Amino acid sequence: MSIFGPADILLPKNTDFSKWSVVACDQYTSEPEYWEKAAAEAEGAPSSLNIIFPEAYLENKDSVERIKKINETMQSYIDGGIFEEYGNSMVYVERRQSDGRTRRGIVGAVDLECYDFSAGSQSPIRATEGTILSRIPPRQRVRENAPLELPHIIMLADDRERRIAESVEARKDELKLLYDFDLMLGGGHVTGRLLDEKAVNDVLTGIEALADDDEYNAKYGVSGGGKLVLAVGDGNHSLATAKTCWEELKKTLTPEQRKTHPARYALAELMNLHDGALEFEAIHRVVFGTEPEAMIEAMKEYYPQITEEDNGGQCVGVVYGDTEKTFYIKDAPSVIAAGTVQRFIDDYIGRNGGTVDYIHGGDVTRSLAAEPGRIGFILGSMGKDQLFETVIKDGALPRKTFSMGEAADKRYYLEARKIR
């Protein structure tokens, strides 16, 4: 198998897909009411909501019982025959977003032996943002005994020649339709088609071309070292968790078992970085349990060069209550504002307490920060075209630097795969 290839993909049969499919578990983490609405939508039907762990509830005291129930429900879905398996397959996905634009992707499996999320990694699959190691153990507890996985991971290819997803798009009407429906709660529309042998070969050939020596060196102006072929766009900690679980499991396996064990792979969707519908959105911050004006004064002490007049530095919006201000930080320590602000927040919380959440959407940030004891930091988005070159030359970006679209446009759970 290549670093990304076919998998034994499961899809529910005779099921209402609009109830089955729910948004990625790491969205709406400060809005449990969203997940209550999703539960109401899916009530009484088989649903991926019953076999994922929304991170809005990750810190609840019932996590052990919830994980046990998730695993039991997964097994009951398998035993109850709700799935149809498409062996050694890939799926072409078109997702019409809430803004009306359509993005394209290929669902297949990542070889975790080709992925390393550690700092300074030279593996062909890498994280684009810093991995927060403390976020892995709670997610590991969800995955380690689960019989199934469902992906919200999105991988990116710097496919400027459009040889992967676009090669399939050109022949999509020749492919078997697997699903075609509206996603719940304003998630847009999604269509999936089963790749035939030619389409699979075209995808694999396109991925191989990304690692061609001459092409790679011309594209990035580098030679030597490991080639970055695929980068993690969404679901960084989900993929890091899959890798961690695999590293633990493979200690118990023989060399022959390691070659084919299903947990060696992780299901994901592969997109072209240059898809016209793909935009990088900023991820904002909201700090809870703090005194906003005291935190602003502390930020001025932490960065003495900060001003409310445009000094040509990094721009940071600050909101609390009905107040909104803009600050500029010249000679910032990080190449992007997300890293600069995160340094201050980590230091401040470490000394004064409080918690931070990472929010998609400026309006949501403003709404959350309007409550007493909260302050929001609104950041600008980064351009996507330099992502690969930056990661190749400088390493992973600061954590929570960018998001691929708004929360409602994140990947919804659809396909599944056995990992035990």
Here the CATH number for the domain that contains residue 344 is 3.30.1760
* Structural domain harbouring 60: 4-279+410-418
Residue 305 and residue 370 in one domain: yes
Residue 331 and residue 274 in one domain: no
Which among 162, 171, 180, 225 is positioned nearest to 199, based on CA atoms?
171
- Other CB atoms within a 10 A radius of the CB of residue 353 amount to 9
Q: What is the pLDDT of residues 135-161, one digit of tens each?
A: 899 899 999 999 999 999 999 999 999
Stretch 407-415: mean pLDDT, rounded? 93
Decide if pLDDT at 394 tops 80: no
Q: Which has the minimum average pLDDT: 5-9, 40-44, 57-61, 272-276?
A: 57-61
**131 is a domain residue:** yes
For the chain, the domain total comes to: 2
Stretch 347-376: mean pLDDT, rounded? 95
Residue 133 and residue 103 in one domain: yes
pLDDT number for residue 60: 86
Residue 158 and residue 198 in one domain: yes
Instruction: Evaluate whether 1 touches 267 at the Cβ level (below 8 Å).
Output: no
**402 is a domain residue:** no
Residue 229 and residue 309 in one domain: no
Within 8 A by CB and 6+ apart from 250, the residues are: 258, 261, 264
Rg value, the chain, Cα: 22
Decide if pLDDT at 44 tops 80: yes
Residue 146 and residue 256 in one domain: yes
* pTM for the predicted model, two decimal places: 0.84
Q: What is the pLDDT of residues 289-320, one digit of tens each?
A: 999 999 999 999 999 999 999 999 999 999 99
**401 is a domain residue:** no
pLDDT number for residue 200: 98
Residue 203 and residue 331 in one domain: no
pLDDT number for residue 127: 93
What is the three-class DSSP state of 296? helix
**133 is a domain residue:** yes
E-assigned strand segments in 147-198: 148-149, 154-157, 176-182, 189-194
Decide if pLDDT at 79 tops 90: yes
**227 is a domain residue:** yes
**219 is a domain residue:** yes
Residue 315 and residue 274 in one domain: no
**11 is a domain residue:** yes
pLDDT number for residue 134: 84
- Other CB atoms within a 10 A radius of the CB of residue 73 amount to 15
Per-residue confidence band for 203, with pLDDT thresholds at 50, 70 and 90 = very high
pLDDT number for residue 58: 83
> Which position has the token pair 């699903």?
179
pLDDT number for residue 149: 97
Residue 208 and residue 289 in one domain: no
Mean pLDDT of the chain: 94
**396 is a domain residue:** no
Q: Which has the minimum average pLDDT: 92-96, 221-225, 414-418?
A: 221-225
**CA–CA separation, 54 vs 303, rounded Å?**
36
Residue 321 and residue 348 in one domain: yes
Q: What is the pLDDT of residues 165-200, one digit of tens each?
A: 999 999 999 999 999 999 999 999 999 999 999 999
Residue 115: DSSP 8-state = B
Q: Residue 265's beta-bridge partner residues?
A: 111
**CA–CA separation, 62 vs 49, rounded Å?**
17
Residue 232 and residue 310 in one domain: no
**CA–CA separation, 158 vs 386, rounded Å?**
10
Burial label for 60, CB within 10 Å (0-12, 13-18, 19+), is exposed
Residue 187 and residue 290 in one domain: no
